[in-house]
Structure 1
């Protein structure tokens, strides 16, 4: 549930509530980080069981507020703030029981390992059988618009991360794929700290292709940071076409749509934006 949905549904009391991460977002509506936190916390306070991401820096600072919660950590049992699930020797472990090997998960990135831990923990709290959990993980193909692999063309992977609508999510997406990367970014910019995102661009992006209203602003920010391999292409059609042209020249391993922006300047929502990207990428493949 989004913070908007939680506000509109104050009486919802789930059996299990999961808090995956907490970063500054929607502050134009909620004004302060504490207000935003309180809205999210309201839902968890009404749940019978709380599942928290112990690797999230902000949530980890709030351990004292969640004495009865279950926690997760990809860094192992020693890093757990309390009881919960963790990774050990390549396995997801809950209550000292190995449930499923991490290698069975098809999705890339440490954040998806965090998601795996929270999903397995939630399933066990719901009394779902261990074998059923393992089978579900093995056969799960991934989620649309969240580091979704679209196709491989000329040995370059085209990946749709349209759901990355802020700097933190886009940094995670970019960190999760193999470099060199041609990054497609831009759209309807949000308020936030872009420092980590820009540092990751320096480390992994051979080229940044900019679309939408944020293109000029992003160009300026990248130039201020000393990054000069950005190009304003304005639209998704031009971005995919240009990425295909540049791919071999920059030895790209991945073309990644991870916009760091909302979509409302050019699309109805992030799903429509990702669907358009998918369509254009699939047209590259004979």
Structure 2
């Protein structure tokens, strides 16, 4: 075990991403000596380094995540802060722990500084971003001082930093989207409300198997004072006996899976709670049964925060969704075009395929994930009149789709740019009602994240419209 000199204790932050930068600034604000290591040496990172060094933060570029990168400070390191992108069982993190060095995720650092504020924590394979944004929107609309962050919006440590800097009134609550990557590095979080939207196989290349993935999310919900579950989710419904007691919702009716739900939608389309009818579900303008589930989850959470039915209805009246999730961006030849770049796996892609009016021209591709594609392939055969594949996984997806018996038009393109222009040009001739970017893959072959991919698609749409 390394003996550390407390008088020279150093906090090391791994990476110059958003969470790394905010973590470094927060630690510095709290009087720590801070070093950031970053493997890249790009012009962008050089500029960021200069700005951080003005604040007294040391930045070491060109440092890969290997134990030797920590040697210049190894005897003085008191803690290492890592981003969600780095696997929690990475060999170097294990070596650091074996040296007696505290390793924690950025979200843990934020929790240390924000745990005096009630957290509403939202997790799930799909739906968590929409639910997070919807809750925060309704709270803001009703003049309740809430802040949104985590896996959406601001990094949690940036929220903590801003709270230290501005000295203003403490927010009533924090609405935090938490991914499995964040949860596995922050086992100490105990939210006031924990929400589990859906559960399907995802991130298995990181979590190894579905049981590990399930346990990570379950831990967060177990540690929540109030727990909200979606009984319309097949996996959650089938594993109720493994879950702690909580509030269950269903868009399919009061009785679902052999038990009575706390919030449901009746045959007249009205959101119900116990013996009361709250408001009509049509108040939410977003398509798809999954959004009715989201509506019920949000209603359950907000009722636990003592909002009335009228206040919830008022807040929902002008909520139109989140960018990159079934985002309507316009028309070409009277064909509606949707950006669903956030559909980064088979199951989330199915939701979009079911929700948008068919026949569909579908754009899919990127970096393929582990998962079971059979239901996705089945839905493609039902909904798609044409498929344009792009990126690293194009050839593999083509083979899968053809093996499933798909008979309509199918083509491969090197990039989203080529695929988009071809789809925009051919949509009318194919008799399509809608054009849908629904990748079913991560963006990491050609883009930094799904937001960058979605924004690129929207720019391509604008360029094509200007051209024609």
- Structures share a fold, TM > 0.5? yes
Offset at residue 67 of structure 1 (A): 5.3
**2:422 aligned counterpart, secondary structure:** helix
Q: 2:192 matched to 1:15?
A: yes
Say how many residue pairs are matched: 286
**2:435 aligned counterpart, secondary structure:** strand
Alpha-carbon distance in structure 1 between the residues aligned to 2:275 and 2:457: 43
Stretches of structure 1 lacking an aligned partner (at least 5 in a row): none
* Bigger shift: residues 273-282 or 92-101: 92-101
Instruction: Give the aligned partner of residue 245 of structure 1.
Output: 425
**1:28 aligned counterpart, secondary structure:** helix
Instruction: Give the aligned partner of residue 400 of structure 2.
Output: 221
Q: 2:243 matched to 1:62?
A: no
Instruction: Give the aligned partner of residue 40 of structure 1.
Output: 217
Which structure has the larger Rg?
A: 2
Alpha-carbon distance in structure 2 between the residues aligned to 1:200 and 1:83: 29
**1:249 aligned counterpart, secondary structure:** helix
Query: 429, 454, 462: which is aligned to 1:274?
Result: 454
1:150-200 per-residue CA deviation (whole Å, 9 max, x = no partner) reads: 112221111011111111111111111111100000000001111111111
Alpha-carbon distance in structure 2 between the residues aligned to 1:154 and 1:100: 37
Offset at residue 285 of structure 1 (A): 3.7
TM-score, normalised by the number of residues in structure 1: 0.96
**1:264 aligned counterpart, secondary structure:** coil
Instruction: Give the aligned partner of residue 333 of structure 2.
Output: 154
Query: 263, 272, 275: which is aligned to 1:85?
Result: 263
Does the Cα contact within 8 Å between 2:196 and 2:230 map onto a contact in 1?
Answer: yes
Offset at residue 62 of structure 1 (A): 1.9
**2:364 aligned counterpart, secondary structure:** strand
**1:169 aligned counterpart, secondary structure:** helix
Match runs of 1:137-286 below 5 Å? 137-228=316-407, 229-285=409-465
Instruction: Give the aligned partner of residue 248 of structure 2.
Output: 71
**1:75 aligned counterpart, secondary structure:** coil
Offset at residue 138 of structure 1 (A): 1.2
Alpha-carbon distance in structure 1 between the residues aligned to 2:340 and 2:277: 31
1:7-66 per-residue CA deviation (whole Å, 9 max, x = no partner) reads: 111111111111011111111111121111111000001101110000111100122233
Alpha-carbon distance in structure 1 between the residues aligned to 2:262 and 2:414: 46
Aligned-residue CA RMSD (Å) = 1.3
Alpha-carbon distance in structure 2 between the residues aligned to 1:224 and 1:66: 38
Alpha-carbon distance in structure 1 between the residues aligned to 2:352 and 2:286: 11
TM-score, normalised by the number of residues in structure 2: 0.60
Alpha-carbon distance in structure 2 between the residues aligned to 1:279 and 1:99: 41
Offset at residue 116 of structure 1 (A): 0.9
1:57-109 per-residue CA deviation (whole Å, 9 max, x = no partner) reads: 11001222335210011110022634421001111112222222111211111
* Bigger shift: residues 261-270 or 120-129: 120-129
Stretches of structure 2 lacking an aligned partner (at least 5 in a row): 1-177
- Relative contact order, higher structure (CA 8 A, sep 6+): 1
Alpha-carbon distance in structure 1 between the residues aligned to 2:382 and 2:351: 13
